[in-house]
Amino acid sequence: MAYSVKVLDHYENPRNVGSFTKEEEGVATGMVGAPACGDVMKLQIKVGKDGIIEDARFKTYGCGSAIASSSLVTEWVKGKSLDEALAIKNTQIAEELALPPVKIHCSILAEDAIKAAVADYRKKQAE
C-alpha cells in the first residue's frame, strides 16, 4: 500500500519518540492496543500546573500509519488543555494523514491513547 507523503514524513522523522520517567511531576501515560493488527501504543503527556499539556512522548509498535498517527498527536496535544486534547477526533487525524479506510483503526488508536492518558492524569490528580 502506498503511504501518503505526511505518513512517510512522520514515519521517517517521528516527533517526540521516547518516554518520560513516571515519577516526573505531571506525567501521565495512556496505553492502548489494536487487536486487529496487534499494534501497541504508549502516549505520555506532561501537564503543567496551569493544566496545559507542556510536552508529549510516544512509543508505538505498529505499522507506518500507527506510528504517524501517534507522532502527529504528540504535536497536536502540546499547548492544549486536557479538554481541548480530548476534543481531537480520529477523523481529523485520518484526514491530516490521508489514511486509507483500512488504516482508520490506527487513527482510532491514537485518539484512544489521548483519552487514556488524560484519564490516567485525572485519576492521579484525584488520588
Partner 1 sequence: MAAGSASQSGAAAAGSSASAGFGSERFALDHFALFDLPQDFRVDSNALDARYRALQVEMHPDRFATAADAERRRALQWATHINEAYQTLKKPLSRARYLLGLLGGECDFARDTSLPMDFLVAQMELRETVADAASAGRSEELDSLRDDLVRQRRAHYEELAGILALAANEQAQRTSALARAADALRRLMFEEKLMADIDDALAALDELN
- Catalytic (active-site) positions: 37, 106
Q: What gap in Å lies between CA 22 and CA 30, rounded to an integer?
A: 12
For residue 110, the minimal CB distance to partner 1 (Å) is 10
Residues 6+ apart with CB under 8 A from 12: none
Per-residue contact track with partner 1, 85 to 104, x per CB under 8 A? -------------------x
For residue 71, the minimal CB distance to partner 1 (Å) is 17
Instruction: Name the maximum alpha-carbon separation found in the chain.
Output: 46
Among 76, 85, 112, 118, binds partner 1 (CB under 8 A): 112
Per-residue contact track with partner 1, 39 to 78, x per CB under 8 A? xx-x----------------x-x-----------------
Give, as ranges, the residues between 10 and 39 that touch partner 1 (CB under 8 A). Answer: 31-39
Sheet of strand 53-61: strand arrangement: 27-34, 39-47, 53-61
Q: What gap in Å lies between CA 44 and CA 19, rounded to an integer?
A: 7
> Which residue ranges make up the site for partner 1 (CB under 8 A)?
31-40, 42, 59, 61, 104-105, 108-109, 112, 116
